[in-house]
Every structure is written in structure tokens, then in C-alpha cells.
């Protein structure tokens, strides 16, 4: 499915009940711990923690009807989308997959799904796809517009049988040992995709081949490259320092809404 619209969606006031009803939960996941959509999984102390909660809760009220992030025209696409951070992991297994064109590469999906399994790149390309032209907003101060093609994350989880009751977060690990997590509110959003294409071609190595996360309503650091595995969990406490992501382990905000 290809979507490209500059339509402005004006937020409106909604009740807490309307918010929960407006999101098509996977297997009822959003009905479990209904306050999850309004606060980070770990709340820090002091003013920073209070600001985290205020920012996320306000944002989620405004996004209650799940509007799309702005999409652009092809004429807006940056000539060269920047490569940032890791651009070619030295991991031996990754390099082997790269040499072989990712023929035998697999993405394990485990945890609170009905049918844990591994998906090949071709399996993922066979899922319903979405193409979107969006702005990548980096926390380092730059932004660029690009066209991304991939499978909605929600479609991948449905292919794994859907999520089990109690599922609250999706944790994504990468080849270069980064990890991040997003909650079910973002998982079910149509623009949250696993991208394998960039600007009409295959996703380049420098931009995260063979697969990267695109979560268009959050800052660049949430959009992990070089995906290695996906886990659906009820708690992020066992991962890293327990904050939900490597960036938040070192002081970034877990919720990177833009």
C-alpha cells in the first residue's frame, strides 16, 4: 500500500476511553495496563522525570486518533540521505550475510507472540507493504526527507500469530548491539514499518541493510538500523539497564516524540 498525503490532521480533545478504543490493539495488547500509552516504562526522579511524563502524556492525548506523520512529495526527497553512526558492522556473521546478499539472513520474532519464528528477508517482503515519504529528525540537529518502503511492524506480528495478552512493548536488537523498545501504541501505527527499501531501491548498507525500523513520530535514535531480533514483552526491566533502550540507558528520553 502506498500512501503519500500532506493532509493536516487537527487534534481534538478525547476521553481516555476514546483513546483506548481508537487504537486497533493487537490481541488486546493495549487493554493490558491502559496507562502505558501515557507514561514511559521507567520514570526518572526530579524535574526530568516529571517532564518525561508531561511530554509523553500530552503528546499521546493529542495523537489519540493516531494521525499520520506528515508525508511529502518525491520532489522533496534529499539527494543523498545521510549515513550516521554505524555504517558497516564488522560483525562476522553480518559480513557473511552481506557477501551472500542476505540470502540466508533471518529475523527471529519471539516472546509474547502465538507462533515464535524466524522470517527471511523475502518472507518480510511478501507481507503487505507501505511506502512513505517522511522526514527523519535527528537528535544531533539535522533532518532529511526520504522515501521508505517496508512491512508494517503490526503485519509481522500478525504473521507470528499475533501478540499474547499482557504484551506491552516490542524490543528490537541490532547487529551492533544497540537496542530500543516501543510500546503498543506505536507498534500498531501504520507508519511504523520495517524498511527494506530507500528511495525506490534496496536499503543500502550505510542506512541499515537489510532491515531497519521506521517509527516516524519519534526522533532518529528510535529508528534502529541493522535489525537482528524482535521480542514482544510485558516488561523492559531485563534489558540493558532497564530503561527500555541503549540511548535511554545513557540519559536520553525513552519517548522521543517529535
173-223 pLDDT, tens digit each: 999 999 999 999 999 999 999 999 999 999 999 999 999 999 999 999 999
Structure confidence at residue 7 as a pLDDT band (50, 70, 90): very low
Separation between Cα atoms, residue 20 and residue 43, nearest integer Å: 22
User: Beta partners for 152?
Assistant: 193
Residue 16 CB: number of other CB atoms within 10 A?
13
Separation between Cα atoms, residue 172 and residue 27, nearest integer Å: 20
* Global pTM value: 0.85
Lowest mean pLDDT among 3-17, 105-119, 160-174: 3-17
Lowest mean pLDDT among 14-23, 97-106, 244-253: 14-23
- For residue 10, give every residue at least 6 positions away whose Cβ sits within 8 Å of its Cβ, in sequence order, or none: none
Q: What pLDDT is attached to residue 148? A: 99
How much is the average pLDDT of 15-26?
A: 40
Burial of 25 (0-12, 13-18, 19+ CB in 10 A): middle
DSSP the chain: -B----PPPPP----HHHHHHHS--GGGGGGSSGGGGGS-SS--SHHHHHHHHHHHHHHHHHTTT-PPPP---GGGS-SSPPP-S-SS---HHHHHHHHTTTTT-EEEEEESBSS-EEEEHHHHHHS--EEEEEEEE-TTS-EEEEEEEEEEHHHHHHHTT-BPTT--EEEEEETTS-EEEEEHHHHTSTTEEEEEEETTEEPPGGGTTT-EEEETTB-GGGS-SSEEEEEEES--TTSTTSSSSHHHHTT--S--B-
Lowest mean pLDDT among 31-45, 72-86, 198-212: 31-45
Lowest mean pLDDT among 12-26, 97-111, 209-223: 12-26
For the chain, which domains are there?
69-249 (3.90.420.10)
Backbone φ and ψ of 41, nearest 5°: -65, -30
Are 52 and 251 a contacting pair, CB within 8 Å?
Answer: no
Q: What pLDDT is attached to residue 70? A: 97
Amino acid at each position: 500500500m502506498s500512501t503519500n498525503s500532506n493532509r493536516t490532521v487537527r487534534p481534538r480533545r478525547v476521553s481516555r476511553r476514546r483513546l483506548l478504543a481508537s487504537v486497533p490493539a493487537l490481541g488486546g495488547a493495549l487493554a493490558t495496563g491502559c496507562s502505558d500509552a501515557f507514561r514511559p516504562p521507567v520514570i526518572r526522579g526530579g524535574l526530568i522525570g516529571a517532564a518525561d511524563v508531561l511530554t509523553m502524556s500530552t503528546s499521546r492525548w493529542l495523537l489519540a486518533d493516531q494521525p499520520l506523520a506528515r508525508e511529502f512529495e518525491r520532489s522533496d526527497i534529499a539527494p543523498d540521505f545521510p549515513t550516521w553512526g554505524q555504517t558497516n558492522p564488522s560483525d562476522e556473521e553480518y559480513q557473511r550475510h552481506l557477501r551472500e546478499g542476505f540470502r540466508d539472513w533471518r529475523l527471529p520474532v519471539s516472546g509474547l507472540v502465538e507462533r515464535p519464528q524466524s522470517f527471511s528477508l523475502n518472507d518480510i517482503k511478501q507481507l503487505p507493504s507501505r511506502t512513505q515519504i517522511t522526514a527523519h529528525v535527528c537528535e544531533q540537529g539535522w533532518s532529511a526527507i526520504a522515501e521508505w518502503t517496508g512491512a508494517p511492524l503490526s503485519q509481522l506480528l500478525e504473521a507470528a500469530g499475533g501478540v499474547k495478552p499482557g504484551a506491552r512493548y516490542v524490543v528490537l536488537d541490532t547487529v551492533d548491539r544497540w537496542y530500543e523498545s516501543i510500546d503498543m501504541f506505536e507498534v500498531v501505527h501504520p507508519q511504523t514499518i520495517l524498511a527494506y527499501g530507500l528511495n525506490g531501491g534496496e536499503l543500502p548498507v550505510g542506512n541499515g541493510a537489510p532491515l531497519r525500523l521506521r517509527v516516524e513520530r519519534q526522533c532518529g535514535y528510535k529508528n534502529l538500523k541493522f535489525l537482528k531480533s524482535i521480542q514482544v514483552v510485558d516488561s523492559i526491566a531485563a534489558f540493558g539497564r532497564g530503561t527500555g533502550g541503549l540511548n535511554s540507558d545513557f540519559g536520553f528520553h525513552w519517548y522521543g516524540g517529535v
